[in-house]
Amino acid sequence: MKEILDAILNEETSAAEYAALKLPESYRAITLHKDEQEMFAGQESRDKDPRKSLHLDEITLPELGPGEALVAVMASAVNYNTVWSSIFEPVSTFSFLERYGRLSPEAARHDQPFHVLGSDLAGVVLRTGPGVHAWKPGDQVVAHCLSVELESADGHNDTMLDPEQRIWGFETNYGGLAEIALVKSNQLMPKPKHLTWEEAASPGLVNSTAYRQLVSRNGAGMKQGDNVLIWGASGGLGSYATQYALAGGANPICVVSSEAKAKICEAMGAEAIIDRSAEGYKFWKDEHNQDPREWKRFGGKIRELTGGEDVDIVFEHPGRETFGASVYVTRKGGTVVTCASTSGYMHQYDNRYLWMSLKRIVGSHFANYREAWEANRLIAKGKIHPTLSKTYTLAETGQASLDVHQNKHQGKVGVLCLAPEEGLGVTDHELRAKHIDAINRFRGE
Ligand SMILES: NC(=O)c1ccc[n+]([C@@H]2O[C@H](COP(=O)([O-])OP(=O)(O)OC[C@H]3O[C@@H](n4cnc5c(N)ncnc54)[C@H](OP(=O)(O)O)[C@@H]3O)[C@@H](O)[C@H]2O)c1
């Protein structure tokens, strides 16, 4: 592994030298163990501690198949799917691996008694499999997390519709929270040159998701002037949604839960901010009943901030706790676009407000290669910026995941894999200097 790292740290290493590097037989990776999938049985979600289920193990290097690449991972990031995986909710990810493993001999490699997690990476291509011509050893890359087989006609208009669509490092094995990762070559994209490894690794999953959900015609198709209500506006998804709204000439109404989070939204350029904790909204009276007066109070606050206007788009992901309010506050003809249900997936809303006011609910999930490419391109051009707040070592991934599980973080939490320290990997210093304040915006203490 040392030879690989030395090659990466030496900026002069050629493609031929990379191709000649001997690959190790094993590498260090963050794993879940199949024989521990019942370890939290009976516990409340909030009590399940990712530090107990996430392990740092030595893993045998998987065989490289057609259309694939092995990538030396310099940095990765924690996503909410790392949290879901680590607490085995809503289901154990080993069920995904078993199902995938039945698909083909190549897919069978993924069905193991361990699961290497991680749906983001920035690093360097080490080897490419047969049939890969667009990428070569030595290429500096980031990877998006859409894994597709594309053997069915269904996915050829929009790859998210492939029946064998999976999220790499969540529904497949050999993810990015490791020293080496196995990806399909059509997950690769150029690493933004003005960013460090850990900054480049952090937007990936959430940036692409926010792009499709809010900007793409497959999502809400946001336009100039739209009022966009963004839940969790300083979180993983929300910190990108807020930037897309601002960069696209829309008007974000940012919902957060603390003064510190409100300050970060303000620093991004948002003017309309609602601190849901300070306002004390209680959309549910009890476990079964919502309180429409609270929806109305929330809508009144939005109107106060917009000069009397309602929202064109709600960027939804908290789910059960907020969905009734989201449907209510959307303007006539507006759109609620949802990609998740963090607080519960059985939603309840008053359908009269939907049909009588001709509103739409749109489901959105990750992004196709083209959308992920567009989202990465905007990062590379310095139009959208990483929202990295803190970086941990690979061995500390459990703690990093606990921070996200407990909602103690801002923006994105990074993980150094092979990178020995933060701050490495920048090759365009001029572009970096131009955007340095925005790049560091989420860095707290
Ligand atoms: N379908 C997809 O492709 C996709 C992609 C990415 C993520 N996701 C899912 O989307 C969800 C959010 O992911 P993320 O990376 O943005 O997570 P995150 O970094 O934890 O941010 C989510 C934010 O939502 C807010 N929030 C949480 N619970 C809430 C509640 N009950 N009511 C109102 N606001 C609440 C919190 O902000 P405040 O406390 O400041 O309000 C939190 O910071 C997760 O469930 C994740 O699995 C789905």
Taking only the tens place, the pLDDT of each residue in 134-146 is 999 999 999 999 9
Determine if ligand 1 sits within 6 Å of the CB of residue 328.
no
CA distance 103 to 105: 7
pLDDT at 81 over 70: yes
CA distance 143 to 189: 6
Cβ contact 94:37 at 8 Å: yes
How many angstroms is it from 342 CA to the middle of ligand 1?
6
pLDDT given for residue 331 in this prediction:
98
Determine if ligand 1 sits within 6 Å of the CB of residue 209.
yes
How many angstroms is it from 76 CA to the middle of ligand 1?
19
Q: Could you tell me whether strands 121-128 and 140-143 are parallel, antiparallel, or unpaired per DSSP bridges?
A: antiparallel
Q: Quote the DSSP letter at residue 179.
A: S
Those residues with Cβ within 8 angstroms of residue 217's Cβ, 6 or more apart along the chain or in another chain:
none
Burial 105-122 (b: 16+ CB within 10 A, else e): ebbebbbbebbbbbbbbb
Determine if ligand 1 sits within 6 Å of the CB of residue 371.
no
Provide the pLDDT confidence category of residue 305 given band limits of 50, 70 and 90. very high
Determine if ligand 1 sits within 6 Å of the CB of residue 412.
no
Determine if ligand 1 sits within 6 Å of the CB of residue 261.
yes
Determine if ligand 1 sits within 6 Å of the CB of residue 404.
yes
Provide the pLDDT confidence category of residue 227 given band limits of 50, 70 and 90. very high
How many angstroms is it from 244 CA to the middle of ligand 1?
17
What does the pLDDT average to over 309-322?
A: 98
pLDDT digits (tens, 9 = 90+) for 110-129: 999 999 999 999 999 999 99
How many angstroms is it from 295 CA to the middle of ligand 1?
20
pLDDT digits (tens, 9 = 90+) for 24-66: 999 999 999 999 999 999 999 999 999 999 999 999 999 999 9
Determine if ligand 1 sits within 6 Å of the CB of residue 326.
no
What does the pLDDT average to over 331-353?
A: 97
Mean pLDDT of the chain, nearest integer? 97
pLDDT digits (tens, 9 = 90+) for 252-273: 999 999 999 999 999 999 999 9
pLDDT at 410 over 70: yes
pLDDT at 414 over 70: yes
Provide the pLDDT confidence category of residue 444 given band limits of 50, 70 and 90. confident
Determine if ligand 1 sits within 6 Å of the CB of residue 236.
yes
pLDDT given for residue 11 in this prediction:
86
Determine if ligand 1 sits within 6 Å of the CB of residue 257.
yes
pLDDT above 70: percentage of residues in the chain: 100
Cβ contact 124:419 at 8 Å: no
Ligand 1 atom at minimal distance to the Cα of residue 339: 1
Cβ contact 259:283 at 8 Å: no
pLDDT given for residue 95 in this prediction:
97
What does the pLDDT average to over 213-240?
A: 98
C-alpha neighbours within 13 Å on the C-beta side of residue 211 = 23
Provide the pLDDT confidence category of residue 130 given band limits of 50, 70 and 90. very high
Determine if ligand 1 sits within 6 Å of the CB of residue 144.
no
How many angstroms is it from 404 CA to the middle of ligand 1?
9
- DSSP secondary structure, 157-169, as one string: S-GGG-TT-EETT
Ligand 1 atom at minimal distance to the Cα of residue 238: 16
pLDDT at 445 over 80: no
- Is pTM beyond 0.95? Reply is yes
